[in-house]
Amino acid sequence: MAQPDPFESATKQVNDACDVLGINDKGIRDYLIMPNRFLRVKVPVKMDDGKIRVFTGFRCQHNNDRGPYKGGIRYFDPEGGVKYMEREVMALSSWMTWKCAVVDIPLGGAKGGVFVNPKKEKLSDGELERLTRQFASRIAEVIGPQKDIPAPDVYTTGKEMTQIMDTFTKMNGNNYSPGTITGKPIPMGGSLARDVATGLGNSYCIREAAKILNIELKGAKVVLQGFGNASTFSGVYLEKLGAKCIAASDSKGSILVPDGFKVQELIDWKQKEGSVVGYPGSKEISTEELLTTECDVLVPGALENQITAAIAEKLKCKIIGEAANGPTLPEADPILYKKGIFVIPDILANSGGVCISYLEWVQNNMGYYWTFDEVASKMEVKIVKGLKDMYELSKKHNIDNRKAAMVLAVSRVLEAFNHKGIWP
């Protein structure tokens, strides 16, 4: 395997949390680490030219001690091939368990996907729909509103989620079951606020961190790495709290606007010009310059592995709100801790998405739908409590926030397991 094994990283994080909690029993550690079930399926699809092509799909269910499994379905073709994707899906399912537990939502962790890149392979709409429905039919026996609730992920959208829900419904005697899946379009039983959830949740975390650090958010300087869903809405909601965004980036480059820009104006510019680069009054800078710009809040909201040890040494921010998954390398964490930078780890900072998914499922189960403000305020309660609980543990054990978030999550799952025990 050419790349580092993601499931090894997930395993190490659980072991580190067990070290802090004084859990030395290997059986308990294995229980927390290993997925409950890994399903690998063959997905045969009749292509437009009449030939049959067989894809490989997965659903990994890591832990359901606290509630039904929850996690995305991605269409992806990572460099390491099918074997690597298996390990990646296992790791991601484990991280979903901890992400749900850290914000105390009654769901477990899962992840799935098909080894395919629909964009690169230029699959037609018909081919993609047949692939999606075939995959749904092959995992149908392990998913369901009270069993395992998938959601969109890399290269899947509300369209695929609707097709999965419809396939599942038809396979179950037309039993209307919108709670089979989340991330659905609003007319299909989706939730308000899902489109902004990750950035909004991150802004709640940053607001609470600023209170802890006694930082006034009015006029605080914000740097956004990436200018997609997670980072843009982090910017939009921080701006509503009075902060000023001064730098942003996308795949084409990075810009600095020392006096600040209005997020909506940069969104409009990017829509028209295809990139943040060239925004009037901005100066083009390198990725390293963007990350190390002097600011109050840094939002790494695009890619993994951005904050290396070398970058961490040079950071001049007070709070990091990790909207992206895995933007910080493990080697950087001790440096950030020593520098006193308040890191809001990804499993908490970007948990707004899964919080609203949970609330979508609750609304589906009730058959009654809340307003945007009702949904947002229910998410706020979960996220604010998660941040406070994490911070208390970091103080209690003298550990960094990332480790504290894992300790919190692992202890919550373990508590549920201890109540249930093993049966039969």
Rounded Cα distance, 262 and 245, in Å: 7
State the Cα angle at 10 between 384 and 141, rounded to 5°.
Answer: 90
Position among 146, 157, 175, 251 found at the interface with ligand NAD (CB under 6 A): 251
Rounded Cα distance, 294 and 301, in Å: 17
Asked whether position 226 contacts ligand NAD by CB under 6 A, the answer is yes
Please, what is the minimum distance in Å from the beta carbon of residue 276 to ligand NAD?
8
Under 8 Å between Cβ of 307 and 286: no
Is 155 strand, coil or helix?
Answer: coil
DSSP string, 306-366: -B-HHHHHH---SEEE--SSS-B-GGGHHHHHHHT-EEE-HHHHTTHHHHHHHHHHHHHHH
Please, what is the minimum distance in Å from the beta carbon of residue 99 to ligand NAD?
9
Asked whether position 33 contacts ligand NAD by CB under 6 A, the answer is no
Q: Taking contact as CB under 6 A, which single stretch among the options 102-110, 136-144, 170-178, 299-307 is the one that binds ligand NAD?
A: 299-307
Please, what is the minimum distance in Å from the beta carbon of residue 231 to ligand NAD?
6
Asked whether position 278 contacts ligand NAD by CB under 6 A, the answer is no
Asked whether position 198 contacts ligand NAD by CB under 6 A, the answer is yes
Position among 188, 303, 384, 416 found at the interface with ligand NAD (CB under 6 A): 303
Asked whether position 228 contacts ligand NAD by CB under 6 A, the answer is yes
Asked whether position 325 contacts ligand NAD by CB under 6 A, the answer is yes
- Using CB under 6 A as the binding criterion, the count of chain residues that bind ligand NAD stands at 18
Asked whether position 324 contacts ligand NAD by CB under 6 A, the answer is yes
Q: Which is nearer to ligand NAD, 169 or 229 (CB)?
A: 229
Q: Taking contact as CB under 6 A, which single stretch among the options 11-19, 83-91, 127-135, 246-254 is the one that binds ligand NAD?
A: 246-254
User: To which H or E segment does residue 271 belong?
Assistant: helix 263-273
Kindly state the tokens that stand for 308.
């290396």
Asked whether position 247 contacts ligand NAD by CB under 6 A, the answer is no
* CA separation, residue 238 to residues 174, 263, 278, 331 (Å): 44, 10, 23, 29
Q: Taking contact as CB under 6 A, which single stretch among the options 7-15, 90-98, 312-320, 321-329 is the one that binds ligand NAD?
A: 321-329
Query: What would you measure as the largest C-alpha separation in the chain, in angstroms?
Result: 67
Please, what is the minimum distance in Å from the beta carbon of residue 236 to ligand NAD?
13
Under 8 Å between Cβ of 236 and 199: yes
Please, what is the minimum distance in Å from the beta carbon of residue 64 to ligand NAD?
21
- Which residue, 6, 152, 11, 10, is CA-closest to 84? 6
**Residue 229 in marked binding region:** yes
Rounded Cα distance, 233 and 213, in Å: 23
Please, what is the minimum distance in Å from the beta carbon of residue 325 to ligand NAD?
4
**Residue 198 in marked binding region:** yes
Give, as one character, the DSSP assignment of residue 50: S
Q: Taking contact as CB under 6 A, which single stretch among the options 100-108, 298-306, 309-317, 376-384 is the one that binds ligand NAD?
A: 298-306
Active-site amino acid positions:
111
What contacts 234, CB < 8 A, 6 or more positions away? 198, 199, 202, 203, 206, 224, 299, 301, 321, 323
Q: Which residue has the tokens 């659980």?
A: 14
Phi, psi angles (nearest 5°) of residue 235: -65, -45
Asked whether position 375 contacts ligand NAD by CB under 6 A, the answer is no
| Residues in 348-367 that interact with ligand NAD by CB under 6 A | 350, 353
Asked whether position 202 contacts ligand NAD by CB under 6 A, the answer is no
Summarize as ranges the residues that interact with ligand NAD (CB under 6 A). 198, 225-230, 249-251, 301-303, 323-325, 350, 353
Binding site feature residues for substrate: 70, 99, 357
The annotation places the binding site at: 70, 99, 198, 229, 357
